[in-house]
Amino acid sequence: MLLSVVIKANAPVKAMQTTAAVSHVRPTTTRVSTTTAESTTKVETTTNTVETSATTKRLDVSPNPSKPIIGIYFKPNRVYISQQEFEDICCVVRREAGADYGHVEGCYAVAQCILQGMLHNNISATELLDAYDYNVVDARNRAIKTPPNERTREAVYKVFYEGYGVTPRPIEYYYSPANMENGYSELHESQKFVFCIDGNRFFEKK
């Protein structure tokens, strides 16, 4: 499952963290009734309402504005990455998106977010992985790397070298509401929502 993007406070990019204090999430049900001479039809729709101390937030659970489809959307080789950076990106994508759940689109999407972050901030892959806190370390500050599988390597290779992606839109941020303590990230949701993959919400910069 994808993890939330966490950006260090001193990084050259804006932090995407939850700031709202959420008390609880409750379902809100809307009932619409239509009556004819022969029958009565009731339609129920449910959305998640996230209540905060100041305002009530509604997480958009409507169908995706666009559908993630793997394809060639960009020019190849838009950035340079070293062989070590390629391996590091593969490890990050494997940890963030996996590739064992049948939705390889998630691997392409995470790789595309990393590439877009490099382009948007004009930084190297190494700088971005550090700035976005993708580099996980243990208690002794030793790097923890998730060995990538072949599906992950293929996704990263095609995104970085062949111009592949899952959308022509410049997705850069993502998070999983299920992995957030409050189930909602106000800073992420302030960006432009693009689509959801396996419960993980992807955004382009507004």
- Provide the mean pLDDT of the chain: 75
Supply the pTM of this predicted model. Answer: 0.70
The one-letter code for the residue type at 116 is Q
**For residue 45, pLDDT beyond 60:** no
- Read off the pLDDT of residues 140-198 as tens digits, 9 standing for 90 and up: 777 788 899 999 999 999 999 999 999 999 999 999 898 888 898 998 999 999 999 98
**For residue 43, pLDDT beyond 60:** no
Helices (H), 66-196: 83-97, 105-121, 125-131, 150-161, 186-189
- Tokens for 48? 């998640």
pLDDT at 100: 59
For the chain, percent of residues with pLDDT exceeding 90: 47
Query: How would you label 10-29 residue by residue, b for 16+ Cβ within 10 Å and e otherwise?
Result: ebebeebbbebebeeeeeee
What value does the mean pLDDT take over residues 59-68? 67
Cβ(170)–Cβ(205) under 8 Å? Answer: yes
Cβ(48)–Cβ(59) under 8 Å? Answer: yes
